[in-house]
């Protein structure tokens, strides 16, 4: 083979190999572009999905709050609750027991204030109390005499001086004291008949 033939063969080999190398480069570039594009698309989809979830949660919260608010607003009002609000407060048992039964009272007589040393042993305490008597009789017009007033006060002082502050400071204690004072007043005198006791002033010095 001549030198010219060898040169021609070498040139053909070089020309034949160049397209192959270019094709490989194109494939590599295409693969890289696909990888980069795929990664970018995945990143974009992830961010888009996260933003969509955040928007849905934000929209759902006001909706839930509005639903709860509407639910509270539409809550039916129990008829018994309306009746309780409109009806006057009922008297408790303690308050009822503190009110004297004075259906037969014809006249009220106010006694001078009592100032009594109580029976407390830890400290000296005193009671200042004003009492009115509800008396009966035919018409209640007869004025009670001094003997009646003295007997009633003496009987009441005997009851008060035996009491401690703990016994008379509660509502129950006051109701019990009023009943005891009524019994003492009724036992002290028959005429005029004492029907009720009204405590109009009550102060305990502690």
In tens, the pLDDT along 157-199 reads: 999 999 999 999 999 999 999 999 999 999 998 788 898 999 9
Q: Are the CB atoms for 165 and 204 separated by under 8 Å?
A: yes
Residue 148's CATH number: 3.30.479.30
Residue 18: pLDDT over 70: no
Query: Is residue 99 located within the same domain as residue 174?
Result: yes
Does a structural domain hold residue 181?
Answer: yes
User: What residue numbers bound the domain in which 156 lies?
Assistant: 93-205
Query: Is residue 185 located within the same domain as residue 136?
Result: yes
Does a structural domain hold residue 86?
Answer: no
Q: Where do the H-state alpha helices sit in the chain? A: 3-73, 79-86, 93-98, 146-160, 165-168, 171-188
Does a structural domain hold residue 134?
Answer: yes
Q: Is the pTM of this model over 0.85?
A: no
C-alpha dihedral, 88 to 92 to 98 to 101, nearest 10°: 70
For 129-143, letters b (16+ CB in 10 Å) and e give bebebbbbbeebeee
């Amino acid at each position: 083979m001549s030198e010219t033939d060898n040169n021609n063969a070498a040139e053909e080999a070089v020309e034949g190999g160049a397209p192959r190398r270019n094709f490989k480069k194109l494939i590599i570039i295409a693969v890289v572009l696909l990888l980069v594009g795929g990664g970018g698309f995945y990143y974009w989809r992830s961010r888009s999905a996260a933003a969509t979830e955040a928007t849905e949660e934000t929209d759902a919260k006001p909706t839930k709050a509005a639903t709860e608010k509407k639910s509270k607003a539409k809550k039916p009002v129990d008829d018994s609750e309306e009746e309780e609000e409109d009806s006057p407060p009922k008297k408790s048992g303690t308050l009822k027991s503190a009110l004297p039964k004075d259906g037969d009272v014809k006249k009220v007589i106010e006694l001078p204030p009592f100032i009594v040393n109580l029976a407390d042993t830890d400290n000296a305490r005193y009671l200042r109390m004003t009492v009115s008597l509800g008396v009966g009789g035919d018409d209640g017009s007869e004025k009670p005499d001094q003997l009646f007033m003295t007997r009633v006060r003496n009987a009441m002082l005997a009851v008060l001086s035996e009491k401690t502050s703990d016994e008379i400071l509660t509502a129950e204690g006051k109701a019990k004291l009023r009943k005891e004072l009524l019994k003492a007043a009724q036992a002290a005198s028959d005429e005029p008949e004492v029907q009720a006791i009204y405590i109009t002033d009550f102060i305990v010095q502690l």
